[in-house]
Amino acid sequence: MSEPAERLLRRVEAIDTAVADNRRRTETYQRMSEELKDVTGTASSPDGVVTVVTDASGTVKNVQFTEAIRTVSPAALSASVVHTIASAQAVAARSQAEVIRRSLGDTTLLDRVLAEDATLFGDRRPTDPGPPPQQVRRPEPAVDHVDDDYDSYGSVLR
């Protein structure tokens, strides 16, 4: 085979290889995109009173309370809900990063994509909210003495 023909053949093979690589990357990105749509973050307060589910964007999708809610003061409940939402958002963000790592591997591209979120979308990556707030239990209501001795009043039916 002549020299120009061999060069042309190598170029065609290089193009075929590049096309196959691009096809694989496209399939990887499509799978990754589908997985990212399904990412959620779920977190529960340490006392189990509150459970929050967020979607991939950090939007709260569900908040559930247990019966123990009746024993928590409103201020403590509020702090617990806010903390649990932040925890669920952090779980969702870590799950997204894991999907990307599985698809692309640990790359500088992944680091750049995560860092650019703030620039491109005005979003900050959720951070771990730290330790949960202190729980303050509601005091048990005092029970007044109830006089069950109705005999001293006489009959109400005369």
Q: Domains in the chain and their CATH numbers? A: 38-138 (3.30.1310)
Mean per-residue pLDDT, 87-97: 89
Q: How confident is the model at residue 141 (pLDDT cuts 50, 70, 90)?
A: low
Tokens 């307060």 label which residue? Answer: 45
Q: Which residues contact 104 (CB under 8 A, 6 or more apart)?
A: 28, 32, 110
Highest mean pLDDT among 7-11, 59-63, 116-120, 127-131: 59-63
Place of tokens 């702090």: 79
25-68 per-position pLDDT tens digit: 889 888 888 888 999 999 999 999 999 999 988 999 999 999 99
For every residue of 69-101, DSSP letters joined together read: GGGB-HHHHHHHHHHHHHHHHHHHHHHHHHHHH
Around Cβ 96, how many Cβ atoms within 10 Å? 21
Cα 106 to Cα 97: distance, rounded to the nearest angstrom: 10
Q: Which of 10, 129, 40, 16 is nearest to 79 (CA)?
A: 129
